[in-house]
Structure 1
Amino acid sequence: MKYKRKSAMVVAASLLLSSCGLQPLYSGGSNGAVATALGNVTVEPIEGKAGWLMRNALNDQLSTFDRSESRYRLVVELDDKIAGFGVRSNDRITRERRTLRARYQLVRVADSKVVLDATAGSDAGIDVVSSEYATVAAEETALENLSTRVADQIVKRLSLFAREQTNSAAN
């Protein structure tokens, strides 16, 4: 009896999930609307080392989509900060937080209209150790990881924007 009740609950749950309206973001694969739209984005150069890392991370993620024509430009401004917050009694910093914030705009090339203006960001904690080299290496590793995380956030938001545009054009 318990087995039948559990299987009935599983069937009911699966019917509810199938009717909830969830759709795969990248439906259609590389020929889908979202992938095609992401293939139309060119990333503008970004200032500084953090900018170089961010642009590479964005291009790495966007290069998986076929590049056709550049219908959009992605303009990114970064704010990269390191702040000490763990302090010993001798005023020596023991912990730092590296924060990377990006303000990005998706600009339509045809008329230079900003069609998306948003922000993304992440932070990482860094232990400050007695070796200055190790601390600098940890700060650089944190920047590389943050660049990848923030680029991932940006690409996800661009994907949602592309899907919204596709859905509004279909309706």
Structure 2
Amino acid sequence: MRLVLLLAATLALSACGLQPMYAGGIGQAVAADLAAVEIPAIQGQGGWLVKNALEARLGVAGQATPRFRLDVRLDDSLEALGVLNDDTISRERRILRARYQLIDLASGTVLLDATAGSDAGIDVVSSEYATIAAEQKALENLALEVADRIATQVAVTLRDQAAVPQP
């Protein structure tokens, strides 16, 4: 019975069009391409967090001759949401947006030009230290989420490029 269920699940999964990122013979090429992405410094604390997360996700090996460059510009903002009668803020929203381009260094071609972003709500409490700590933690979490979205899109772009036969 388990074998029948496993076989049915395998057939259903293959019918939906999902496939592993590194499937087929292009898997090693995609992994090598991901490791060949250079990520220049990104301005600000959020930039430092996003850059480190991207390097970890892409497996950037610091190759002497990178094949691609990932340019990222961040917009980090903090806005008040809840304002009480005495003009104190009770809730904030931290927003982190990234505009990024993946550039083929050999040809100068822009392979990917996209945006990614996320936001988080923060409760403002009477302790200024706790509020600052919550804002910092929100930035750390947002940086990881934005880096995940960027890394996924870069990997998909490089996989699609590797699947196209080169002339």
- On whether the aligned pair clears a TM of 0.5, the verdict is yes
Partner of 1:37: 33
Partner of 1:108: 104
RMSD: 2.5
Contact (CA 8 Å) 2:111, 2:157: kept in 1 or not? no
Rounded Cα–Cα distance in structure 1 between residues aligned with 2:153 and 2:113? 10
Q: CA deviation at 1:28?
A: 6.5
Partner of 2:92: 96
Distance 1:93 1:16, change over 3 A: same
Contact (CA 8 Å) 1:36, 1:66: kept in 2 or not? no
Aligned partner of 1:134: which letter?
A: A
Rounded Cα–Cα distance in structure 1 between residues aligned with 2:22 and 2:141? 25
Q: Which runs of 5+ in 1 are unaligned?
A: none
Partner of 1:74: 70
Q: CA deviation at 1:11?
A: 5.7
- Moved segments of 4+, more than 6 Å: 7-10
TM-score, normalising length from structure 1? 0.84
Partner of 2:43: 47
Partner of 1:133: 129
Rounded Cα–Cα distance in structure 1 between residues aligned with 2:50 and 2:6? 44
Rounded Cα–Cα distance in structure 1 between residues aligned with 2:81 and 2:12? 48
Report the count of equivalent residues. Answer: 164
Aligned partner of 2:97: which letter?
A: R
Contact (CA 8 Å) 2:97, 2:118: kept in 1 or not? yes
Q: Which runs of 5+ in 2 are unaligned?
A: none
- Is 1:152 the counterpart of 2:148 in the alignment? yes
Task: Show the 5 A alignment for 1:11-26.
Answer: 14-26=10-22
